[in-house]
Amino acid sequence: MDISARLNAVRQRISVAAKQAGRSSELIGLVAVSKTKPDWDIAQAWRFGQRHFGESYVQEAMEKQRLLAHFPICWHFIGPLQSNKTGYVANAFSWVHSVDRYKIAKRLNEHRSVKLPPLNICLQVNISQEPTKSGVLPAQLAELAEAVNQLPHLKLRGLMAIPARTDDFSQQRIIFREVRALYEQLTEYKLDTLSMGMSNDLEAAVTEGATLVRVGTDLFGTRDANANEYDE
């Protein structure tokens, strides 16, 4: 199956899930997770209407952005971010989904050019509270949100989560519902983004209110066996 057919299949899944949940599919964006995939795959997806792409590795993203500079792509950084890489990410991406501590947010804010609009930020929540997974714990989320909201060159947009993997649709819904509940507790920040749902669980995420789903495998094929938590 080529990328055009894969894109259509994923968009159809989103549309069906939205309709079943009584939602408009137009309110649900698709981030094509293109990390570890070549620039020509991104170019092909762009030609079939995909505009938002997610990357996790700074060096890889730098090369792709150089090769694809002539494409008006909206780049999302979705992986774990080290302090020494914040300078590049702050100005080469429109979104960062994986902010889980104030130190990273502060450095992104300091590096973001005043000539650019504020950097869109999602706070990553470790909703399953897995010790090996990144993300702020739910109990510490409100404090982090308040701190990030004060940074002038960042725009706090919402939450991101990567729950513990399960193929049980009911369990998927339960955990995504917990993410949505945390989101709804932060009403004073006027959030508008719930970044949740990947290839194996996007239907449950859409059912529970996702506004962005991040899909890689079902668009570009499987990744190697050493893939980390962000390589869905």
Distance (Å, rounded) from C-alpha 26 to C-alpha 172? 23
**What is the per-residue pLDDT for 230?**
45
How many CB atoms neighbour CB 161 within 10 A?
Answer: 28
**What is the per-residue pLDDT for 225?**
42
**What is the per-residue pLDDT for 231?**
42
Is the model's pLDDT at 130 over the cut of 90? Answer: no
Distance (Å, rounded) from C-alpha 217 to C-alpha 198? 9
Question: Average pLDDT, stretch 198-220?
Answer: 97
Scanning the structure block, which residue is given the tokens 């996702």?
210
157-206 residue pLDDT tens: 999 999 999 999 999 999 999 999 999 999 999 999 999 999 999 999 99
16-25 residue pLDDT tens: 999 999 999 9
Residue by residue, what is the 3-state secondary structure of 68-113?
CCCCCCEEEECCCCCHHHHHHHHHHCCEEEEECCHHHHHHHHHHCC
**What is the per-residue pLDDT for 133?**
87
**If you average pLDDT over every residue of the chain, what do you get?**
95
| Contact indicator for 157, 193 with CB cutoff of 8 Å | yes
**What is the per-residue pLDDT for 31?**
98
Report strand pairing: 52-55 vs 74-77.
parallel
| Contact indicator for 172, 143 with CB cutoff of 8 Å | no
Least confident of 122-136, 161-175, 211-225: 211-225
Tokens of 46: 């762009």
Question: Average pLDDT, stretch 33-62?
Answer: 97
Is the model's pLDDT at 214 over the cut of 60? Answer: yes
Is the model's pLDDT at 228 over the cut of 60? Answer: no
